Structure 1
């Protein structure tokens, strides 16, 4: 018994020392989507600011595939030493309803660190698409349905969820064209190979402002400051159509609470960084306030959103398997 107690005490002391010395090496944030996409853009801004605060390099690693579940599963199985993190969006709450079997449980296999941002969505189309206004678009979709091609980044992606809600709201199906990320989807939209998509402002704002794509609406109650001329969906005639893509930072379950606390304070410092705030604003979004960049706030959001999306996805009959 004495030997066991001694061993336990030694292990605890080693853990405390490790937490005090943290971080002693570079940290990796896994983005479960392709490079150049909206979640990747958000992560790289946050990672740079966290690097400055932590005094260690924070590296972004893209592990795309399976609607974000591949990268999330990799982090769930990683060592819980604080050196492998996950920055994921709303897909953490939709995965349990979309996938019949997951290699992880979003609510038990991760240690929440904090919310990062809530990104508005934009309903956009190729610049020569016939409808001129949101009202025109609604009529065009209802009249042409499956003759319209609609791009998304695959099952569970924010772009797919937005499209699902849009088609349900209009009671009309379009032809979905899945891509390996919104980067290549945007390329085809710019090239005119695809008619429409619905994606985060972090991936569409610059193209909208440059006139390279046509914007019909934002999915927020208020207009987005970076896109003042783009009406809300409600202003365009689509009532009760609101969707913001929340993002959160996670560590593997069992990560030392002292390390989680250090990462939370670093995340809060990054979100308070003026450069990050301005970069977010230029992309049509904003950092969450400090009281939302916390483990409790992220855990509560994840639980509530998981319950909400389970009902929506079940009603739509959508499944990834």
Structure 2
């Protein structure tokens, strides 16, 4: 039996343009990964390393696009309004996907519903560092100095982690310090080295090389346990005799809400392959980066817990939304 050419063409078009065919073809063009922080930041370094490994699974280039500003809000907003097709993804953090709604009076998107979780990348602790000319050798000595000069001691911040960690430290230690905001972590580090600010609490990617190089003085780590990357530094809890101080920055991939589940699954496969790769693990082991591959559902659950945790931390530190 012969099938008319017109019918064959119709059947071919139906298969070619069906949703199934589209999803099977993903990805068939470059993907844009929005990093909501400046080049050189920890988010940028980790995002680029993951992107390089994800390409091996996806078979398409991933173009990293830095969109810094407002603690990551500008970059996150761009992804929130992007087409939900998997071709625009967010290298998100605790800032963009947990804390921002407590730090901003209004957001241009609903933080809880604007994104589809894709995959968890990992986490890093932070280091409390001070300018070398500050006359304090330990965190307790620095806190005592701040107590003697209420409001005169300054700290830099360019992200939610940096701001909240410092304000938490101030609140729990019973001191008053003045925040000096920056647009990027590297810019804040430049001013810490130059003495324009006294203290900066930043992730290992930004802080550890400067501590190791003797350009700034590391005082403590923000995790609940000492880091193998720099075991000589005590935790904040050890240094100040506290019990409940802990703040760790994390990184994860998100897509716009409404992205098809099969596209999410393909992206998740690529994220997990990157997290498990020797290249990524070796590259960031020295900065205390702990990978933790998992499912989109696991990331969604983690997101709910982290949002509650950061909300409490911001409230306890008495940080007012801007």
Regarding TM over 0.5, the answer is yes
* 1:142–1:170 Cα contact (<8 Å) kept: no
1:79/1:252 contact within 8 Å kept? yes
SS in 1 for 2:201: strand
Paired position in structure 2 for 1:285: 289
CA distance, structure 2, for counterparts of residue 274 and residue 89 of structure 1:
22
Instruction: Name stretches of at least 5 consecutive residues in structure 2 with no aligned partner.
Output: 1-13
2:143/2:175 contact within 8 Å kept: no
Name 2:255's counterpart in structure 1: 251
2:64 alignment counterpart: 60
The residue that corresponds to 2:158 in the other structure is: 153
Give the TM-score normalised by structure 1.
0.91
Structure 1 residue 100 and structure 2 residue 101: aligned? no
Task: Note if 1:181 corresponds to 2:184.
Answer: yes
List 4+ stretches of structure 1 deviating above 4 A.
Answer: 10-13
Residue 274 of structure 1 is matched in structure 2 by: 278
| Structure-2 separation of matches of 1:50 and 1:42 | 12
Aligned-residue CA RMSD (Å): 2.0
Distance change >3 Å, CA 231–CA 316, structure 1 → 2: closer
Q: Does the 8 Å contact 2:118/2:296 carry over to 1?
A: yes
Deviations 1:216-245 (A, max 9, x none): 001112211111221211221241211111
What CA distance in whole angstroms lies between the structure 1 residues aligned with 2:145 and 2:192? Answer: 18
Does 2:194 correspond to 1:191?
Answer: yes
| Alpha-carbon distance between aligned partners in 1 of 2:71 and 2:150, rounded to the nearest angstrom | 25
Task: Provide closer, same or farther for how the CA distance between residues 286 and 305 of structure 1 changes in structure 2, counting only shifts above 3 A.
Answer: closer
* Distance 1:233-1:22 versus aligned 2 partners, 3 A rule: same
Q: Report how far residue 284 of structure 1 moved.
A: 2.3
* 1:115 equivalenced with 2:109 (yes/no): no
SS of the residue 1:145 aligns to: coil
Cα deviation for residue 76 of structure 1 reads 0.5
Contact 2:30-2:60 within 8 A present in 1 as well:
yes
Number of the residue aligned with 2:92 = 88
Alpha-carbon displacement from aligned partner over 1:241-284 (angstroms, at most 9, x marks no partner) = 11111111100011110110011111010011101001111222
Deviation at 1:133, TM superposition (A): 1.3
Q: How far apart in 2 are the matches of 1:312 and 1:276?
A: 30
Equivalent-residue separation in structure 1 for 2:315 and 2:178 (angstroms): 20
Q: How does 1:12-51 map to 2 (within 5 A)?
A: 14-51=18-55
- Find the aligned partners of 1:262 and 1:242 in 2 and give their Cα distance: 34
| Cα distance change of structure 1 residues 284 and 311 upon mapping to structure 2, 3 Å threshold | closer
Q: Tell me: CA distance 1:145–1:294, structure 2 relative to 1, closer, same or farther (3 Å).
A: farther
- 1:5 paired residue number: none
From 158, 167, 170, the equivalent of 1:167 is: 170
Mapped contact 1:219–1:244 kept (Cα < 8 A): yes
Higher Cα radius of gyration: 2
After alignment, is 30-39 or 97-106 more displaced?
A: 97-106
Superimposed CA distance per residue, residues 79-121 of structure 1 (whole angstroms, 9 cap, x where no aligned partner):
1110100011111211122222211112211110111111101
Change in 2 beyond 3 A, CA 1:314/1:229: closer
Q: Match of 1:151, SS?
A: strand
Contact 1:33–1:62 (Cα < 8 Å) also in 2: yes
Give the match's secondary structure for 2:186.
helix
Q: How many angstroms does 1:138 deviate by?
A: 2.3
Extract unaligned runs of 5+ from structure 1: 1-9
Tell me how many residue pairs correspond in the alignment: 309
Q: Does 1:233 align with 2:236?
A: yes
Q: Decide whether the 8 Å contact of 1:205 with 1:284 is kept in 2.
A: no
Paired with 2:317 and 2:225, the residues of 1 have a C-alpha distance of 27
Counterpart Cα distance in 1 of 2:164 and 2:140: 21
